[in-house]
């Protein structure tokens, strides 16, 4: 893992227009969908980030052809076979989403095996939703030599009731059920926009999927799927990151290509706090207020406020007038960044998965560590509003999840420098 640091001199008010990239968490399930067909697929609006490169390397290792056109943000994928059924442990260890190859490989080959995937240290992140779902579709599931091994000569449609509306779990089951024999109903499905994006690619490939975006998804299995040409949705977490950066720095940003309906909970909360939001069809404008109101927020599944914006919202609330309360309801260990934020002067106490934020607090530059993608983004935003210089270490997480964050911020007036080769990835 290459050492990457960001040096940030705070104090600039961000202003201007920023193009929003395609969704990180939309990219990987759609790339996995290409394993379901021997026909070529083209995916556009793909962010050129470490997580996409890593997932592409996993697909290549399985035998797929992956051609990247970075200038056009486009991926060409083809998996005519023969395909391997075990993604490489050393890559799987670096990425939670790598487990997404299980559903399509199981459906297409009748077997798949994968070691426990790595990913951000934000909670336990079990796999029971995925594995119980595969079993409900008729797969035999075993743990052999440190790998989950699933096999089923032919998956059969079933009523699959999820204990929790897991995002990757829902995607994995959707990817498996589209080629299963008969009808599948996924009850208590995740409703995130990334699920809708995947379902729309699968539909373009010839799958029969209804109800994506609600908590009940109905699938009629088909014997084979064709290729597709699919455009990813904009990245809602990158959108939220820039919106919060505008509010935090006294700035005024136009978020080009943002989809406000994917972030109702964020924009409504920002408006409550006092931030000026103007939405139109192709962009959202976010302008800071002179004074921010304290608030209570809860990070919950869609359409609530995303857990991936919780650290950023907590950071913003350090500038609000009074005591704010933040409840993290999705991941049990997602407040660890608070210790780093305190080094910049934030006054925050935590109790379990709740943070109590005292504001407004002047922040001052310091040396801090990025613990995961969103924690690192929160520290960047805090540093932009802090007096003096901040050194953000372990900033490689940002390369995994944000397309050219430093360049985009510089174009908006920030003083931010990335110290490391651009080619590194997690």
Residues that bind ligand EPU (CB under 6 A): 24-25, 28, 96-97, 120, 123-130, 164, 166-169, 190, 306-308, 330-331, 373-374, 401
* Contact residues for 313 (Cβ-Cβ < 8 A; gap 6+): 244, 266, 269, 297, 299, 305, 326
Name the residue nearer to ligand EPU (CB basis): 299 or 384.
Answer: 299
Question: Taking the complex as a whole, how short is the minimal distance between the CB of residue 332 and ligand EPU, in angstroms?
Answer: 7
Tell me the C-alpha distance between 301 and 299, whole Å. 7
Name the residue nearer to ligand EPU (CB basis): 97 or 139.
Answer: 97
3-class state of residue 289 by DSSP? coil
Name the residue nearer to ligand EPU (CB basis): 99 or 267.
Answer: 99
Question: Taking the complex as a whole, how short is the minimal distance between the CB of residue 11 and ligand EPU, in angstroms?
Answer: 28
Question: Taking the complex as a whole, how short is the minimal distance between the CB of residue 364 and ligand EPU, in angstroms?
Answer: 27
Name the residue nearer to ligand EPU (CB basis): 174 or 190.
Answer: 190
Strands (E), 232-272: 252-256
Question: Taking the complex as a whole, how short is the minimal distance between the CB of residue 2 and ligand EPU, in angstroms?
Answer: 20
Beta pairing partners, 7: 391, 417
Question: Taking the complex as a whole, how short is the minimal distance between the CB of residue 285 and ligand EPU, in angstroms?
Answer: 25
* Contact residues for 287 (Cβ-Cβ < 8 A; gap 6+): 246, 251, 252, 253, 275, 276, 278
Name the residue nearer to ligand EPU (CB basis): 386 or 399.
Answer: 399
Name the residue nearer to ligand EPU (CB basis): 194 or 406.
Answer: 194
Question: Taking the complex as a whole, how short is the minimal distance between the CB of residue 317 and ligand EPU, in angstroms?
Answer: 19
DSSP H/E element including 141: strand 140-144
- Cis peptide before 303, with omega less than 30 degrees from 0? yes
Parallel, antiparallel or unpaired: strands 159-161 and 183-187: parallel
Question: Taking the complex as a whole, how short is the minimal distance between the CB of residue 303 and ligand EPU, in angstroms?
Answer: 12
Residue 32 sits at the vertex; the CA angle it makes with 27 and 33, to the nearest 5 degrees, is 100
Q: Give residue 160's Cα distance to chain centre.
A: 24
Tell me the C-alpha distance between 194 and 141, whole Å. 27
Name the residue nearer to ligand EPU (CB basis): 162 or 348.
Answer: 162
């Amino acid at each position: 893992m290459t050492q990457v640091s960001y040096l940030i001199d705070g104090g600039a008010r961000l202003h201007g227009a920023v193009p929003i990239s395609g969704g990180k968490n939309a990219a990987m399930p759609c790339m996995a969908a290409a394993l379901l067909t021997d026909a070529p697929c083209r995916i556009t609006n793909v962010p050129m980030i470490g997580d996409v490169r890593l997932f592409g390397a996993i697909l290549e290792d399985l035998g797929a052809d992956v051609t990247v056109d970075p200038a056009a943000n486009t991926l060409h994928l083809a998996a005519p076979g023969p395909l391997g059924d075990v993604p490489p442990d050393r890559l799987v260890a670096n990425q939670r989403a790598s487990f997404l190859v299980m559903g399509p490989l199981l459906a297409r080959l009748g077997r798949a095996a994968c070691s426990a995937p790595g990913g951000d240290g934000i909670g336990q992140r079990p796999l029971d939703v995925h594995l119980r779902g595969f079993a409900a579709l008729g797969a035999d599931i075993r743990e052999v030599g440190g790998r989950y091994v699933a096999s089923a000569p032919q998956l059969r449609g079933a009523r699959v009731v999820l204990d929790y509306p897991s995002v990757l779990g829902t995607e994995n089951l959707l990817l498996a059920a589209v080629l299963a024999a008969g009808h599948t109903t996924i009850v208590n499905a995740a409703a995130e926009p990334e699920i809708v994006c995947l379902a729309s690619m699968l539909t373009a490939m010839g799958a029969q999927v209804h109800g994506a975006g609600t908590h009940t998804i109905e699938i009629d299995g088909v014997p084979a799927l064709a290729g597709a040409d699919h455009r990813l949705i904009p990245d809602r977490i990158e959108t939220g990151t820039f919106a919060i950066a505008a509010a935090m720095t006294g700035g005024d940003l136009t978020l080009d290509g943002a989809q406000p309906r994917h972030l109702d909970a964020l924009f409504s909360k920002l408006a409550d706090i006092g931030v000026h939001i103007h939405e139109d069809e192709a962009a959202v404008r976010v302008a800071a207020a002179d004074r921010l109101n304290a608030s209570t927020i809860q990070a919950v599944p869609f359409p609530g406020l995303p857990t991936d914006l919780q650290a950023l919202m907590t950071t913003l609330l350090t500038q609000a007038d009074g005591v704010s309360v933040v409840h993290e309801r999705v991941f049990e260990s997602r407040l660890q960044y608070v210790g780093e934020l305190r080094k910049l002067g934030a006054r925050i106490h935590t109790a379990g998965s709740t943070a109590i934020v005292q504001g407004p607090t002047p922040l001052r530059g310091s040396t801090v560590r990025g613990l995961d993608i969103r924690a690192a983004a929160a520290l960047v935003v805090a540093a932009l509003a802090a007096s003096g210089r901040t050194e953000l270490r372990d900033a490689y997480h940002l390369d995994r999840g944000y397309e050219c964050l430093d360049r985009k911020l510089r174009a908006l007036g920030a003083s931010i420098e990335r110290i490391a080769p651009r080619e590194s990835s997690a």
